[in-house]
Structure 1
Amino acid sequence: MRLATTDLTASILEGATIYGPGDEKVGSVSHLHGSGRAAQAIIDVGGFLRIGAKPVAVRLSELDFMRDEDGDVHAVTNWTKGRLKEMPEHVDP
């Protein structure tokens, strides 16, 4: 079930697994920045248990968030792990 816009909050999205093309796990949501259409998800890409992961910023509009039958939140995107790793590293202000 796709999440409504009102469900795109930090408390719901943080920790969500992100899947790319072919159901490849590409990362997980670390935290959010901004609100509305300008909001960004900071995705930890690579690493193991967040150790050595590279944080990158992706607009929420580029992610399709949903709940599975168990109620767990995840997202799908057209971004591959390789393309995300090529993005500039996000640094919190």
Structure 2
Amino acid sequence: MDHTNHVRLASNELTTDILDGATIYGADDEKVGTVSHLHGSEVVIDVGGFLGIGAKPVAVPANQLNFMRDEDGDVHAVTSWTKDQLEDMPEHQD
């Protein structure tokens, strides 16, 4: 997916209502997870699993994700992490 024409989200748009369920794309533009929820200044991403079953929640700093909207208005984010790197992170506990 070419993200160059996607509109970056403003900081006031980084809310649970807007980010919930957003797809996260990794270093090779591979889908690496989806946003579960926000936890303070961190974004909790569900990684792995199938349709949310068996997914592992990991927390990453929000500033490590570049959130944007595509041409259809769908919110997603890009990160330099790979799926394997995210899966290796400690499981997030609320």
| TM-score of the pair, normalised by structure 1 | 0.93
- Aligned-pair CA distance for 1:47: 0.3
What secondary structure is seen at the aligned counterpart in 2 of 1:74? Answer: strand
Shift of 1:73: 0.1
The offset of 1:22, in angstroms, is 1.5
Tell me, which stretches of 5 or more residues in structure 1 are unaligned?
Answer: none
| Secondary structure, counterpart of 1:22 in structure 2 | coil
Which consecutive segments of 4 or more residues in structure 1 shift more than 3 A? Answer: none
Aligned partners of 1:21, 1:63: CA distance in 2, in Å? 11
RMSD of aligned alpha carbons = 0.4
The CA distance in 2 between the partners of 1:33 and 1:21, in whole Å, is 24
Matches within 5 A, 1:1-93: 1-34=7-40, 39-92=41-94
For 1:11-42, what per-residue CA distance to the aligned partner results, in whole angstroms no more than 9, with x for missing partners? 000100000012100000000011xxxx1100
Percent identity over the alignment? 70
Aligned length: 88
If each structure's helix is expressed as a fraction of its own residues, which one has the higher value? Answer: 1
